[in-house]
C-alpha cells in the first residue's frame, strides 16, 4: 500500500464557509486545470467553498478555492465530490503544473 | 471475517481499537510494538494494519518501511490520538492508506476499514454510490414498463432471430481503461504498454481484451509518451527527461537522459534512431540512441497539434489532433506527408488522443476524456481500409 497510497494526491481541506469547522483531509481522484474529483471521509455540502492544499508532483498549492458540486456517498461511506476551482489565477497555475507534468499541450505563454 | 493487525503501545488504546474492530465483525490480532506486529503479519497474514500513535510519533513511518519488504500491499491505517490535519497529510504522503482521528469507535472507523478491505493493491478509489430509495410512483412506472416490455417481447425475439442469422462478429473498436490519464502507448509485438501520468504507472495490457496484465509504479518519474525499442521501453518523463526501461517485470531503469527537445508528446523507434515530436517547437526530431539521445536533425511538423508518434516498420506516423487524422511522414523528410487517414473516433471532440501504436494491420490509440480527468481513459482501434493497408504494407 505504501506504493499506491501516495499516488492519489493527498489534500488538506479547509472549510471557507465555516472557519469553526476543523480542517480535514482526503485525496484527489483526478485533477484538471478547472477542478478535481475529491474523496474524503467528512461530509461536505453542495455549493460549499473549500480551501485546498496539495502538491502536484512537487509543485505546492495552498488555499485553492474550490466550489463543491454533486457530492455523493460511496458504498463505504466516503464522500466523493467534484470541485471546480473558482479563481482564474489558481486555475492557470494548476493548469501550468499539470501541463508541465504531461507535456501534452501547447506551451503556456500566459 | 478478516484478521486485522493492531499496533498500540498503550494498553487502553489497544483495547479500544480491538473492541471497535471486533464490533465490526473482524478478528483482531494486537501487538504493543512493531516487532510483535511483524510477527502477526508473517504468521496470520492480516488484511490490514492499524497503527495507533500520537501525531509527534513515527511508529507508522517505521511500520511502512518494515512492511515494504514483508507485505508491500498491506494497507496501513494510522489511528492518531489527536486530530492534526497537517500531520495526517504527511502520513498519507508517506504511504499510509488512511488516517483516522478520535473517537476510535466502530461507527467512526467502519467506512475506512471497509474501504481498506476492498483494496486490491491498485488504487484508493471510490466504490459504487449508494442507491437511492425508490418511491411508490417509481414502482408504478416500473410496472407499466414491464407490461410494455412483455408486449414488445415477441417482436424483439423475431428481430433478434433475424439479426442472429445475418450476424457477422465485429471486434470492439474501443475499450475503457481502468484509469483516467493515459499518456503514451507502445506495442512490443505481443502486448501493449500504456503509461498513466497521474498515477505514475506503466501498465501492460492484453492485446485482445486490453485487460491490465501488470502494473508498475514509477515513483521517480511521471511517464508520458512511450516507444518500444527491442528489449527496452523509452518513456518521456516529465518535466524534462527520457527514461529507458528494461522490459523486465520491474521495468528497471537503464538510463535517464535530459530531454534536449521538450515537450515530448510522441516517441517512436525505427530500429536505428529514436524519433520524437514536441509541442513546444512543433518539430519532429531524429535522435541517436546514445547517452544523451542527441538530436541530429529536426523537421517542422506538417500538421496542427501533434499528440503521438509511432513507426509502422517502414514509415513514421503521427496523430494530429487539430485535424483528427493520422499522418504518414516521408521517412527521409518527415515534413512531407505521404498519406492521411481521418480518425472518426476523435470527430466529436470528447476525446483527446495521447498515444499511438501500429500492430501490423491496425492503428491503436489511447485517449483522455475531455475535460481532462473527468472520466476513464479509452483505447480506440482504428481499422484501415484495405487499399490503404496494402499501400502501407507494400509502399
Question: Over its length of 395 residues, how does chain B's per-residue pLDDT go in tens digits?
Answer: 678 999 999 999 999 999 999 888 889 999 999 999 999 998 888 989 999 999 999 999 999 888 877 777 788 999 999 999 999 999 988 888 899 999 999 888 898 998 888 775 545 666 666 655 556 666 667 667 776 676 666 666 766 665 554 455 556 789 999 888 999 999 999 999 999 988 888 999 999 999 888 888 887 888 999 999 988 999 999 778 999 999 888 899 999 999 988 889 999 999 999 999 998 899 999 999 888 899 999 999 998 899 999 999 889 999 998 888 999 999 889 999 998 888 988 888 889 999 999 999 999 999 998 876 668 899 999 988 888 888 888 76
CB burial of B350-386 (b: ≥16 within 10 Å; e: otherwise) equals ebbbbbbbbeeeebbbbbbbeebbbeebbbbbbebee
pLDDT value of residue A105: 39
pLDDT value of residue B217: 85
**C-alpha to C-alpha distance for B8 and B44, rounded to whole angstroms:** 18
For residue B208, the surrounding DSSP H or E stretch is none
**C-alpha to C-alpha distance for B90 and B88, rounded to whole angstroms:** 5
CA B347 from centre of chain: 24
Question: Which is more confident, A6 or B321?
Answer: B321
Pair B45, B74: CB distance under 8 Å: no
pLDDT value of residue B151: 63
Nearest to B277 by CA among B230, B237, B319: B319
Pair B321, B352: CB distance under 8 Å: yes
- A108 in a structural domain: no
Distance from CA of B385 to the nearest CA of A (A): 29
At B44, list the grid cell. 496470520
pLDDT value of residue B157: 72
Distance from CA of B270 to the nearest CA of A (A): 22
User: Contacts of residue B198 in chain A, CB cutoff 8 Å?
Assistant: 7, 30-31
pLDDT value of residue B36: 93
Pair B241, B258: CB distance under 8 Å: yes
Question: Which is more confident, B364 or A95?
Answer: B364
- A110 in a structural domain: no
**C-alpha to C-alpha distance for A50 and A16, rounded to whole angstroms:** 5
A105 part of contact set with chain B, CB < 8 Å? yes
Query: Which of B88, B126, B238 is closest, CB to CB, to A29?
Result: B126
Assess whether the previous peptide bond of B106 is cis (omega < 30° from 0). Answer: no
A104 part of contact set with chain B, CB < 8 Å? yes
Nearest residue on chain B to A34, alpha-carbon basis = B371
Give Cβ neighbours of residue B368 (< 8 Å, ≥ 6 apart): B180, B181, B182, B351, B352, B354, B377
pLDDT value of residue B95: 84
Mark yes or no for CB contact B93/A10 under 8 Å: yes
- A41 in a structural domain: yes
CATH code: domain of residue A30 = 2.40.10.220
Directed axis angle between helix B59-70 and helix B34-44, to 10°? Answer: 30
Domain extent at residue A29 = 5-102
pLDDT value of residue A86: 93
CA B45 from centre of chain: 28
For residue B98, the surrounding DSSP H or E stretch is strand B98-100
Distance from CA of A104 to the nearest CA of B (A): 5
* pLDDT tens-digit readout, B272-300: 999 999 988 999 999 998 888 999 999 99
Q: Give me the number of domains chain A comprises.
A: 1
Portion 12-31 of B in contact with A at CB < 8 A: none
- A27 in a structural domain: yes
pLDDT value of residue A1: 32
Sheet with B76-80, strands from edge to edge, namely B27-31, B3-7, B48-53, B76-80, B98-100
- A48 in a structural domain: yes
- A35 in a structural domain: yes
Q: What is the arithmetic mean of pLDDT over A41-48?
A: 90
Sheet with B201-205, strands from edge to edge, namely B182-187, B192-196, B201-205, B212-217
- CB count within 10 Å of CB B178 equals 15
- A107 in a structural domain: no
Look at the pTM and tell me if it is higher than 0.80: no
Nearest to A101 by CA among B356, B222, B271, B143: B222
Nearest residue on chain A to B129, alpha-carbon basis = A74
Distances (CA, A) of B344 to B177, B207, B239, B248, B390: 19, 22, 32, 36, 21
- A74 in a structural domain: yes
Amino acid at each position: 500500500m505504501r506504493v499506491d497510497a501516495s499516488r492519489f494526491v493527498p489534500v488538506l481541506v479547509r472549510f471557507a464557509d465555516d472557519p469553526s469547522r476543523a480542517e480535514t483531509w482526503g485525496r484527489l481522484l483526478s485533477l484538471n486545470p478547472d477542478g478535481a474529483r475529491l474523496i474524503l471521509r467528512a461530509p461536505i455540502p453542495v455549493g460549499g467553498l473549500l480551501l485546498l492544499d496539495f502538491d502536484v508532483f512537487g509543485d505546492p498549492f495552498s488555499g485553492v478555492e474550490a466550489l463543491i458540486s454533486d457530492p455523493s456517498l460511496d458504498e463505504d461511506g466516503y464522500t466523493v465530490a467534484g470541485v471546480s476551482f473558482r479563481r482564474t489565477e489558481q486555475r492557470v497555475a494548476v493548469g501550468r503544473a499539470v501541463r508541465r507534468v504531461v507535456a501534452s499541450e501547447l506551451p503556456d505563454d500566459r | 471475517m478478516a484478521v486485522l493487525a493492531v499496533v498500540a503501545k498503550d494498553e487502553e488504546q489497544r483495547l479500544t481499537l480491538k473492541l471497535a474492530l471486533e464490533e465490526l465483525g473482524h478478528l483482531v490480532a494486537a501487538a504493543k510494538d512493531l516487532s510483535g506486529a511483524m510477527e502477526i503479519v508473517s504468521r496470520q497474514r492480516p488484511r490490514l494494519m492499524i497503527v495507533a500513535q500520537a501525531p509527534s510519533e513515527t511508529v507508522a513511518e517505521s511500520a511502512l518501511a518494515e512492511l515494504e519488504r514483508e507485505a508491500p500491499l498491506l494497507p496501513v491505517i494510522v489511528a492518531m490520538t489527536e486530530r492534526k490535519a497537517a500531520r495526517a497529510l504527511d502520513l498519507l504522503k508517506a504511504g499510509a492508506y488512511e488516517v483516522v482521528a478520535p473517537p476510535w469507535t466502530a461507527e467512526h472507523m467502519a467506512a475506512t476499514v471497509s474501504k481498506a478491505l476492498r483494496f486490491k493493491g491498485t488504487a484508493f478509489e471510490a466504490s459504487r454510490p449508494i442507491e437511492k430509495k425508490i418511491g411508490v410512483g417509481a414502482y408504478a412506472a416500473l410496472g407499466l414498463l414491464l407490461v410494455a416490455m412483455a408486449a414488445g417481447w415477441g417482436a424483439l425475439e423475431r428481430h433478434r432471430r433475424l439479426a442472429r442469422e445475418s450476424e457477422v462478429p465485429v471486434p470492439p473498436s474501443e475499450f475503457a481503461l481502468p484509469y483516467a490519464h493515459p499518456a503514451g502507448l507502445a506495442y512490443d509485438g505481443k502486448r501493449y504498454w500504456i503509461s498513466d501520468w497521474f498515477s505514475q504507472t506503466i501498465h501492460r495490457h492484453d492485446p485482445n481484451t486490453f485487460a491490465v496484465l501488470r502494473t508498475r509504479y514509477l515513483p521517480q518519474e511521471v511517464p508520458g509518451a512511450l516507444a518500444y525499442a527491442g528489449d527496452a521501453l523509452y518513456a518521456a518523463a516529465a518535466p524534462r527527461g527520457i527514461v529507458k526501461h528494461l522490459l523486465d517485470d520491474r521495468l528497471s531503469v537503464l538510463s535517464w537522459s535530459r530531454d534536449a527537445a521538450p515537450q515530448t508528446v510522441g516517441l517512436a523507434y525505427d530500429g536505428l534512431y529514436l524519433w520524437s515530436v514536441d509541442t513546444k517547437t512543433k518539430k519532429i526530431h531524429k535522435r541517436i540512441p546514445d547517452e544523451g539521445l542527441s538530436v541530429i536533425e529536426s523537421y517542422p511538423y506538417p500538421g496542427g497539434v501533434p499528440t503521438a508518434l509511432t513507426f509502422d516498420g517502414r514509415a513514421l506516423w503521427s496523430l494530429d489532433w487539430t485535424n483528427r487524422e493520422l499522418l504518414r511522414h516521408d521517412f527521409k523528410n518527415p515534413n512531407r506527408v505521404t498519406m492521411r487517414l481521418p480518425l472518426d473516433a476523435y470527430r466529436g471532440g470528447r476525446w483527446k488522443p495521447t498515444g499511438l501504436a501500429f500492430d501490423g494491420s491496425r492503428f491503436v490509440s489511447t485517449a483522455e476524456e475531455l475535460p481532462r480527468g473527468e472520466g476513464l481513459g479509452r483505447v480506440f482501434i482504428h481499422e484501415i481500409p484495405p487499399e490503404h493497408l496494402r499501400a502501407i504494407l507494400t509502399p
